[in-house]
Structure 1
Amino acid sequence: MSTSDCLYDIMIIGCGPAGIAAGLELHKYPSIPKFLILEARDRTGGRTFTDIHIFNKNPLSVYYTPSDEDQIHDHFPYGTNSAFFDIDGTRLSESFIMEGIKIAEDLRENFGQGSTDKHDVSIYDGIRDKHEQIQDQQIRRFVDMYLGFIEQFEASNLNEISAKSFSAKELEADINDLALHTGYGSFLQQVVERNPLPIQLNSIVTNIDTPNDKNEPIRITTKDNRHYRTKYVLITIPLGCLKADTIKFTPSLPDWKQHAIDQMGFGLCNKIFMQFPSTFWDESLDNIFVASNDFRFFLCNPHDHMLTSLVCGNFARKLEQQTDEEIIEQIVQCLKPIYPQMPKPKNWLITRWGSDQFTYGAYSSFNVGATNETLRALATECYDDRVYWAGEHTNYDGRIGCVDSSFESSQRQTKRICNKLN
């Protein structure tokens, strides 16, 4: 057992974007509070990918120096060059695509049907009757794929997403992403290196004990039996970990906090990166879309002979139970009718965020019954205003689900803690 003699002003649990944001914010103060960041992994960065979302409006953009190797691309799925195929390899005509989109958009007008101020339903429940009336199976496959853009964006299935709280504004926004040639995770690590922060890696927090006496420090325990004392705690771990009760709170969390944790959705979105010996598709394409119930979305990187498949929700959970080889073979069988001469990929990388013990999913979404008040409850401090909360799932005055959401929420909460200290 190791017990720190130091009494910290603030201890930050998690060194993903929210934890990093808190550390950077604390460094702005003339008199920097005494703080420490505990990170369960052997690296910083948390759930990071390869692009910065809405780069020009992203609070992280001030820390990045652009490179000639970076790429700016249209926000998925609205790439300028896309090809749509049916499962038998037929390329869908422009007239067919327009017909399918019209039907899908008509369904979207019914998303909130059955939802009232006091009663919420899922998006699928709102469109079920009209969806089941689609008789043409090819049209139905296309409509399902088109509505799948929403599922991919929310990392959840339509029968889980709240019809009342869902907003199409973000999905339809005229925005661009900046793809970093070194990767988003590497970028965040560089931010940490340029702004030295007190971080302890491989520190899995298991217990947070908050005494009733406000003059007594909060006690934090890690899996390897280290103990820390602090005046305030900022918890930035993913909502998936809160749902899985990876940290034991003593006393137990207030009922209103636990209810918010249970009510908010936490979806799953995985990426399957595949590199081929050569580029066998049209090099002008940004996206390849397949009207399939399984693998629907492929992002194209012809320069590196790479395709990236995006999978989400229940299908992504199912795939996590399979081997890499089984998944790759299914993708090959999906694309073979379109590209009969395609080779098998020579390299691949498959994310499994649902099985990751430090995330248990990808990002939050509004489940049926969840509202912006749920976000406010997730963000609200407790234990006599000594335990604070940040992360993409707490960003009640902005967007949720993204790295910049984590950053914004943590900046806000860190300022609140510093005001208490002062």
Structure 2
Amino acid sequence: MMSTSNSIYDIIIIGCGPAGIAAGLELQNCSSIPKFLILEARDRVGGRAYTDTHTFKSGEPIDLGARWIHHYRPENPLAVHHTPSDKDQFLHHFFHGSNTGFYDIDGSLLSETLLNEAEKFVDDLCENMKEYSLDNDDISMLDIIRDKYEKIQDEQMRRLVEMNLAYIEHYEASNLDQLSVKSYLKSDDGIETCDLTLPIGLGTFIQQIVERNPLPIQLNTIVTNTDIPSDKNEPIRITTKDNRHYLTKYVLITIPLGCLKASSIQFTPPLPDWKQNAIDQMGFGLLNKIFIQYPSTFWDETFDYLFIASNSFRFFVCHPHDHILVAFVCGDFARKLEQQTDEEIVEQIIQCLKPIYPKIPKPIKWLVTRWSCDPLAYGAYSNFKVGATHETSRELARECYDNRIHWAGEHTNYGGTIGCVDSAFQSGQREAKRVYDKLNILLRE
């Protein structure tokens, strides 16, 4: 039996996304630094935060995954790593502003009056969700609003209401019929919206944190098995796809919830039922982006966003300097699109934009993300599906196997935000502290 090194690590971190990076930084700041290693399956750090700088030959960095630092404020764990720049863009409310174009499917501009009426209607629906009694059984957000929503007679108003509701779906990366009404608004932990867009791209920002704080990372290392001996004085054995072996006292697992759902890592003995149930119970959504570059900017250059009251492509982010439009798609629709070719998807977007821009030019380049087809993610980020609660994320975070296997990642950040890069960061810091405390107790014994 070949072991890659005979030495035993204090802790091995599996996954070098924001949670794994945060845990590594935390351990490096300890007064006596434990012997640790981060194993990353990809050929890069950052996980679902990745900035593409080579597809479009222009200055515009393209974030294929996470794009915003959500909940930006001094307490945000990413704030200490960020040097403010005059190119930073803050977003406090997604739906307002003169910098957004609102259109109907026939290409006509939507009036302020209509938009306000639809928004008021949706605010009322959301109030219904907020008021749902926690003593009742959990049901979906759609179940709560279905009656009122189905009473809308006017077709145009219905499309506008759907567009407003779709904002919730995109934020949670799942359809309303899957999202828990009891957990409505719970993923932000009551923190005011303040989203920061970084000029260099969020993926690059995360990468730079690692460059400034060199961590012991091994890339291209796909972990397949974790064997936990019954004798807790024996080390845990980690095996990789290319048959390397590592021995360690503790393990911190930070892989995406999608990979846990797909059982990417085999545990021997199998995971306890309560852990497996939490993995099954938590929701894991899908949000994809389609970046399309045109030979010129044919839309209003002052627009940051383009919203269309369509039942397919509704939200576009505009990059006028690079002639790029980015369509956001989520949930069932995003899954359906993943089965189609890039060309088919781009053609549908052109057809969607044509009524607004009859002279739309042929695109010159595009890039389509397919996060649920990525075997190192299987989706975008977690949410509370019907039946899931903060208790579910607490169970996802709870250690098992004599408390030797620890868990971090955006899906485990109970008591804080869920589903964001700051969530992942916080969870990594939390678990690194826990493991370090245990190692210190071992030393004192």
- RMSD value, Cα: 1.8
- Residue 307 of structure 1: SS of its match in structure 2? strand
Moved more, 347-356 or 5-14: 347-356
Q: Hey, what's the Cα distance between the residues in 1 that align with 2:377 and 2:81?
A: 25
Would the aligned equivalents of 1:122 and 1:162 in 2 still touch at CA under 8 Å?
A: yes
* CA-CA distance at 1:419 after TM superposition: 0.3
Aligned pair count reads 422
**Corresponding residue for 1:26?**
27
Moved more, 317-326 or 108-117: 108-117
Moved more, 181-190 or 324-333: 181-190
Alpha carbons of structure 1 residues 30 and 65: separation in structure 2 relative to 1, 3 Å: same
* CA-CA distance at 1:67 after TM superposition: 4.0
- Code of the residue aligned with 2:212 in structure 1: it is R
* CA-CA distance at 1:170 after TM superposition: 4.1
Would the aligned equivalents of 2:130 and 2:184 in 1 still touch at CA under 8 Å?
A: no
Q: Hey, what's the Cα distance between the residues in 1 that align with 2:93 and 2:7?
A: 47
Would the aligned equivalents of 1:79 and 1:287 in 2 still touch at CA under 8 Å?
A: no
* CA-CA distance at 1:193 after TM superposition: 1.5
**Corresponding residue for 1:221?**
239
* CA-CA distance at 1:181 after TM superposition: 2.5
Q: Hey, what's the Cα distance between the residues in 1 that align with 2:98 and 2:92?
A: 7
- Residue 128 of structure 2: SS of its match in structure 1? coil
| Residue number among 200, 204, 221 corresponding to 2:218 in the alignment | 200
Would the aligned equivalents of 2:43 and 2:220 in 1 still touch at CA under 8 Å?
A: yes
**Corresponding residue for 2:54?**
none
* CA-CA distance at 1:341 after TM superposition: 1.3
**Corresponding residue for 2:201?**
183
Where in structure 2 are the equivalents of 1:128-139 lying within 5 Å? Answer: 128-139=146-157
Alpha carbons of structure 1 residues 249 and 169: separation in structure 2 relative to 1, 3 Å: closer
**Corresponding residue for 2:68?**
51
Q: Hey, what's the Cα distance between the residues in 2 that align with 1:197 and 1:364?
A: 27
Would the aligned equivalents of 1:113 and 1:126 in 2 still touch at CA under 8 Å?
A: no
**Corresponding residue for 1:284?**
302
User: If the length of structure 1 is used for normalisation, what is the TM-score?
Assistant: 0.96
- Code of the residue aligned with 1:30 in structure 2: it is S
Does the alignment pair 1:210 with 2:228? yes
* CA-CA distance at 1:137 after TM superposition: 1.1
Where in structure 2 are the equivalents of 1:253-268 lying within 5 Å? Answer: 253-268=271-286
- Code of the residue aligned with 1:55 in structure 2: it is Y
**Corresponding residue for 1:7?**
8
Q: Hey, what's the Cα distance between the residues in 2 that align with 1:304 and 1:50?
A: 17
Q: Hey, what's the Cα distance between the residues in 2 that align with 1:155 and 1:140?
A: 21
User: If the length of structure 2 is used for normalisation, what is the TM-score?
Assistant: 0.91
* CA-CA distance at 1:172 after TM superposition: 9.1
| Residue number among 345, 355, 367 corresponding to 1:337 in the alignment | 355
Moved more, 195-204 or 175-184: 175-184
- Code of the residue aligned with 1:41 in structure 2: it is R
| Residue number among 415, 418, 421 corresponding to 1:400 in the alignment | 418
Q: Hey, what's the Cα distance between the residues in 2 that align with 1:184 and 1:304?
A: 18
- Code of the residue aligned with 1:13 in structure 2: it is I
Does the alignment pair 1:417 with 2:431? no
* CA-CA distance at 1:165 after TM superposition: 1.1
Would the aligned equivalents of 1:81 and 1:284 in 2 still touch at CA under 8 Å?
A: yes
- Code of the residue aligned with 2:185 in structure 1: it is S
Where in structure 2 are the equivalents of 1:108-123 lying within 5 Å? Answer: 108-111=126-129, 116-123=134-141
Render the CA deviation track for 1:98-131: whole Å, top value 9, x for unaligned: 1211222222222268765251100001111111
| Residue number among 289, 292, 310 corresponding to 2:328 in the alignment | 310
* CA-CA distance at 1:171 after TM superposition: 10
Q: Hey, what's the Cα distance between the residues in 1 that align with 2:190 and 2:360?
A: 33
Instruction: Return 5+ residue gaps in structure 1 as ranges.
Output: none
Q: Hey, what's the Cα distance between the residues in 2 that align with 1:85 and 1:151?
A: 20
| Residue number among 96, 121, 128 corresponding to 1:103 in the alignment | 121
Would the aligned equivalents of 1:113 and 1:127 in 2 still touch at CA under 8 Å?
A: no
- Code of the residue aligned with 2:33 in structure 1: it is I
Q: Hey, what's the Cα distance between the residues in 1 that align with 2:132 and 2:77?
A: 38
Q: Hey, what's the Cα distance between the residues in 2 that align with 1:122 and 1:138?
A: 25
Would the aligned equivalents of 2:187 and 2:383 in 1 still touch at CA under 8 Å?
A: no
- Residue 233 of structure 1: SS of its match in structure 2? strand
- Code of the residue aligned with 2:35 in structure 1: it is K
* CA-CA distance at 1:174 after TM superposition: 4.7
* CA-CA distance at 1:74 after TM superposition: 4.1
**Corresponding residue for 2:109?**
91
- Residue 292 of structure 2: SS of its match in structure 1? strand
Moved more, 54-63 or 143-152: 54-63
Q: Hey, what's the Cα distance between the residues in 2 that align with 1:385 and 1:303?
A: 52
- Residue 349 of structure 1: SS of its match in structure 2? strand
Q: Hey, what's the Cα distance between the residues in 2 that align with 1:275 and 1:68?
A: 26
Q: Hey, what's the Cα distance between the residues in 2 that align with 1:78 and 1:96?
A: 14
Would the aligned equivalents of 1:26 and 1:33 in 2 still touch at CA under 8 Å?
A: yes
| Residue number among 264, 269, 293 corresponding to 1:275 in the alignment | 293
Alpha carbons of structure 1 residues 365 and 231: separation in structure 2 relative to 1, 3 Å: same
Would the aligned equivalents of 2:71 and 2:192 in 1 still touch at CA under 8 Å?
A: no
Moved more, 82-91 or 233-242: 82-91
**Corresponding residue for 2:82?**
64
